[in-house]
Amino acid sequence: MADQPAGITVDVLQDLASTSDLKNFISSQGNAVFALGKELLAYKGQPVSKAAGSFSASVSLSATPPSWKAGPVTFSFKPSAKCTVTIATQGEDFEAAKDIGDTTKTDNVQIPAVPGMTYINIDLDFSISGNVAGSGTAYGITISGKAAGSTDTTLSFCQPVASTTETQQALIDAFNDIVLPTSPNASFARMVVGSSTRMTFDGTLSLELDVDYGLGDFKLAASSIALIQKAYQEASKAITFPTADAKAGLSATIKYTHTDHFGLIITKSDTNNAQLYLVRASTDETDVNVGISVVITTTALSVNADTSQIQQAVQSVTKSPALGTTVANAVAPKIADLESNALSKLNNEIKKLNGSAGLTLALSSQKGRTLLFNYAVDLSRPSIIAQSWNDLLSNNIQDATQIPGFTVQPGSGIMQQFKKSTTLTLQFFNLFKYSDETDFFGHCTSEITTDGIRILYQVGVEQLVAENSAKGQVRIYFNGVANKAADGTVSGASVDLNIEMSESSSAKSAALLVGILGIVDSSALQATMTAMTTYAKANPKNTLGVTAVLNSSAYGRLTFSPFAGGIGGKPKVDQTADTANWNAIHAAAVTLMGKDLPFITPYSYADLALYNSYCDTGDSGALFNRRHPGNPAAVPSWFYQGAVPALVDYFLIATEKGLNLFEDLVTLAQDLQGTITQQQFGYIISDTTAIVKDDINMDYAKPIMASVIQQAYGAGKVDVSTAQTSSSFTTTLKIS
């Protein structure tokens, strides 16, 4: 051991009792001396209440660095370890989120100060090591190391001492009363009344499926959280967005980061009661940016862009025909505008930019889960508490809502969220700028209530398109809620379909939104349409919006042509309802988009059936099967009537998916009727995810959704409202 430094010191082996965790669990041949600084010498012999302030302490270690094995975790000091001691009238703030719906808001969960007590707050910079292997079937905490990059010290202890206690003795008492939170033998019970502990660490969770990191799901019964977890993980796997293929000649940057941060807070308010908080936040993020060379030719006087070549260029890099066609769709109506620009302006732009034009693709995938648990711990049953705590730390908890002595508090729960994004940016000199950002998103919240478990989830897709200064946004998502009773049944299950569309800084786009209301019901909504038009003309740069909310009774009234044997069976000859649905989609598409995309106008349901037959069988004559899109490469060239094949393919396949949407929404509504089981509600979560993934094409979402709203609106109860602000005007249709 190095020479004893001057000032007040606390020697673990010499000054602390054998029952102290710091002395009891210390490794053989190890020791540590905390030198608390010369400034505290002035208070030696005086009451500790007079020594208020923050003091940095050096840590002097034995030749063999000490370690402390407390349960499954080993704590140790490095030579650079830090220690801070603060003497104050209360314990330091311990922040924790109490509302799992908004974990950005935190509350101080520190217990109130007790009159006549002074608090010695000790922050120790421990290193941590532990077992990282999970059992694969049980639930619990597995602590593997110090929280990477944490700005907090590893362990913080807030120790109350009588204010009249002499300063040096108060410091020794505070260190003596430290209880390592992972230690066995009823660590809760051995904490001093009024004390609290916070620990930050890296960790892992052994779930039933053994598939994720985190703190244990022990606020919910195993079956509940496992089902939700599985549904979302499978959905995450199933939702496949394009991945960038950075070939020679392309500029590419790829970044991957992963962080896990955990917190455990224990407060002991009196002899028989303690509170345990477990918090976790995690983010996985992958960013890829690739510059793509688009096929564009320039001459001294003009610019020419071949939409089919652009479609192929984007597809070759993104591996996504859909993204390629999206770009081609955006470019096609703009070619004439570009070529008709004043030649002098165009030539200046070409000269200035050396004939360059480009497209950038950005892909990202984010997944985050935040778990928050709050237990009330009954310390009047010390032997039971000791066993439960040991089981929790050793992954030996099967149903943590039933841990003896641990009562889950209302509000405890889990929130899962993930987001996958694709962003395309296309620029022709300074004449035309286009960007398209599409996000798939989902989050699920499950929380304990006084009556059981409440499950809320949202899953959807969002597209934001910008052309020069104009912006258009479409957001389609499901909101679901259900209550799970103690017997495992689920009641009150409901899922709303939300459709949100907005446009800004574009008179043409504003007219398009008004046109959607005209498709729904031009007579009954005429006054609203007039108000929207008037607002848009008076405020051309503001945002105009249309929102529709359909509950299950509304979308359950939709009609479709059923297959023999149900979904997955064979189509019937009678396709009257599907024909009517497609005609409605096509009419809406022509009304809303036909001027810019004239190639969609000539086609009919019979043409769609012929197209599908070629795709599905390689020949004409087969019965139209909207569930089998087939291979467009088998379609003969004459079918496209001189249009770019990829553009026609994209439109027809999008409308096939739109037809499936009608059937899938009705099926969802039927599944929601009555009291269901937890497993069935899990299927509903998966079903809505599949609808978002498989049935919704965002580029043709407006005409498809207009047709859905139109049919649901016709036979339902409708509440129409408008909301106007200084920057926006929104019309909302609530249909039940």
Average pLDDT over the chain, rounded to an integer: 76
Q: What average pLDDT does the segment 485-513 reach?
A: 86
Burial of 63 (C-beta count, 10 Å sphere; 0-12/13-18/19+): exposed
Token pair listed for 644: 């770019």
Lowest mean pLDDT among 337-341, 545-549, 689-693: 337-341
Asked if the model's pLDDT at residue 266 lies above 70, the reply is: yes
Write down the H helix ranges in 91-176: 167-176
Q: Taking 60 as the threshold, does the pLDDT of residue 459 lie above it?
A: yes
Residue 371: the pLDDT is: 56
Nearest to 626 by CA among 599, 662, 601: 662
Q: Which of 382, 399, 421 is the last residue of a domain?
A: 421
How far apart (Å, rounded) are the C-alpha atoms in residues 50 and 151?
A: 30
Residue 532 phi, psi dihedral angles, 5° rounding: -65, -45
Say whether both 329 and 380 belong to one domain. Answer: no
DSSP output for 580-606: HHHHHHHHHHHHHHTTT-GGGTT--HH
Do residues 88 and 19 both lie within one domain?
yes
Asked if the model's pLDDT at residue 61 lies above 70, the reply is yes
Is the pLDDT at 659 greater than 90? The verdict is: yes
How open is the CA angle 309-312-314, to the nearest 5 degrees?
110
pLDDT at 589: 95
- For residue 254, give the 3-state DSSP assignment: strand
What H or E segment, with its residue span, contains residue 511? helix 507-521
Report d(CA 316, CA 241) in Å as an integer: 15
pLDDT grade, residue 637 (50/70/90)? very high
Strand-pair partners of 74: 69, 129
In a domain, 171, yes or no: yes
Q: Tokens at residue 466, please?
A: 């910008």
Tokens of residue 140, six digits = 């619990």
Phi-psi region of 484 (alpha: psi -120 to 50; beta: other; left: phi over 0): beta
Half-sphere exposure (Cβ direction) of 501: Cα atoms closer than 13 Å? 23
Say yes or no: 195 and 331 in one domain.
no
Strands 728-735 and 543-550: parallel
Checking if the pLDDT of 649 tops 60, the result is: yes
Taking only the tens place, the pLDDT of each residue in 683-704 is 788 788 888 888 998 889 999 9
Q: DSSP H helical segments within 594-716, as ranges? A: 605-617, 645-671, 678-694, 701-714
Residues 313 and 371 in one domain: no
Closest C-alpha to 209, from 185, 228, 193, 190: 228
638 DSSP 8-state letter: G
Q: Residue 207: inside a domain, yes or no? A: yes
- For residue 570, which phi and psi values (nearest 5 degrees)? -115, 145
Residues 385 and 250: their CA atoms lie apart, in Å, by 61
Same domain, 208 and 285: yes
Mark residue 305 as left, alpha or beta (left: phi above 0; alpha: psi -120 to 50; beta: remaining).
Answer: beta
200: pLDDT strictly greater than 90: no
Residue 53 pLDDT: 86
Residue, of 106 and 648, whose pLDDT is higher: 648
Would you say 600 and 651 are in contact if contact means Cβ atoms under 8 Å apart? Answer: yes
Is 507 within the bounds of a domain? Answer: no
Question: How buried is 428 (Cβ within 10 angstroms: 0-12 exposed, 13-18 middle, 19+ buried)?
Answer: buried
Give the highest mean pLDDT range of 46-60, 214-228, 398-412.
46-60
The pLDDT of residue 142 is 46
Q: What is the pLDDT of residue 428?
A: 60
Element (H, E) at 733: strand 728-735
DSSP letter, residue 46: S
According to the model, what pLDDT value does residue 618 have? 94
Same domain, 22 and 68: yes
pLDDT for 286: 47
Single residue among 378, 405, 421 that ends a domain in this structure? 421
- Domain ranges, residue 312: 295-352
CB 267 within 8 A of CB 114: no
Query: Is there a domain that residue 155 lies in?
Result: yes
Closest CA to 603 of 615, 595, 594: 594
Instruction: Supply the pLDDT for residue 427.
Output: 65
Within-domain flag for 157: yes
594-629 burial code (b ≥16 CB/10 A, e <16): beebebbeebebeebbbbbbbbbeeeeebebbbbeb
Q: What is the pLDDT of residue 29?
A: 83
Structure tokens that stand for 635 in this block: 């379609």
In terms of domains, do 122 and 267 share one? yes
**Range with lowest mean pLDDT among 140-154, 319-333, 426-440:** 140-154
> What contacts 538, CB < 8 A, 6 or more positions away?
none
- Percent of the chain clearing pLDDT 90 (strictly above): 34
**pLDDT tier for residue 383 given thresholds of 50, 70 and 90:** confident
Are 177 and 106 spatial neighbours (Cβ–Cβ below 8 Å)? no
**Of residues 34 and 416, more confidently modeled:** 34
pLDDT at residue 325, as a whole number: 75
Query: How many Å apart are CA 200 and CA 126, to the nearest integer?
Result: 10
Task: Give the DSSP H/E element, type plus range, for residue 343.
Answer: helix 343-352
What confidence tens digit (pLDDT) does each residue in 302-319 have?
455 567 766 766 666 555
pLDDT tens figures, 219-254: 222 223 333 333 333 333 333 333 333 232 233 333
In the chain, the number of structural domains is: 2
Same domain (yes/no): 193, 208: yes
Give the number of residues written for the chain.
736
Contacts of 733 (CB under 8 A, 6+ apart): 520, 546, 547, 548, 549, 709, 713, 718, 719, 720
Residue 298 has a pLDDT of 47
Q: Is the per-residue pLDDT at 292 higher than 90?
A: no
| Alpha helices in 294-342, H assignment, sequence order | 307-318, 321-331, 335-339
Co-location of 189 and 312 in the same domain:
no
Instruction: Give the HSE-up count for residue 330: Cα atoms under 13 Å, Cβ half-sphere.
Output: 25
- Rounded distance between C-alpha atoms, residue 371 and residue 415, angstroms: 6
The verdict on 269 and 324 lying in the same domain is no
Q: From 88, 79, 8, select the one nearest 48 (Cα to Cα).
A: 88
DSSP summary character for residue 110 = P
Lowest mean pLDDT among 46-50, 451-455, 507-511: 451-455
For the stretch 90-113, pLDDT in tens is 998 887 766 666 666 777 888 999
Residue-wise pLDDT for 464-475, tens only, equals 888 778 888 999
Residues 346 and 371 in one domain: no
Asked whether residue 240 is domain-assigned, the answer is no
Residue 587 lies in a domain: no
Q: Is the model more confident about 87 or about 217?
A: 87
- Environment class of 351 (CB within 10 Å of its CB; exposed 0-12, middle 13-18, buried 19+): exposed
Three-state DSSP state, 223: helix
Contact 589, 599 (CB under 8 A): no
Q: Are residues 303 and 397 in the same domain?
A: no
Lowest mean pLDDT among 70-84, 138-152, 291-305, 430-444: 138-152
CA atoms within 13 A on the CB side of 220: 32
In a domain, 124, yes or no: yes
The mean pLDDT value for 51-77 works out to 81
**What was the pLDDT predicted at 349?**
46
Q: Please, how many CA atoms are within 13 Å of residue 15, restricted to the half-sphere of its CB?
A: 20
- 305 near 296, Cβ under 8 Å? yes
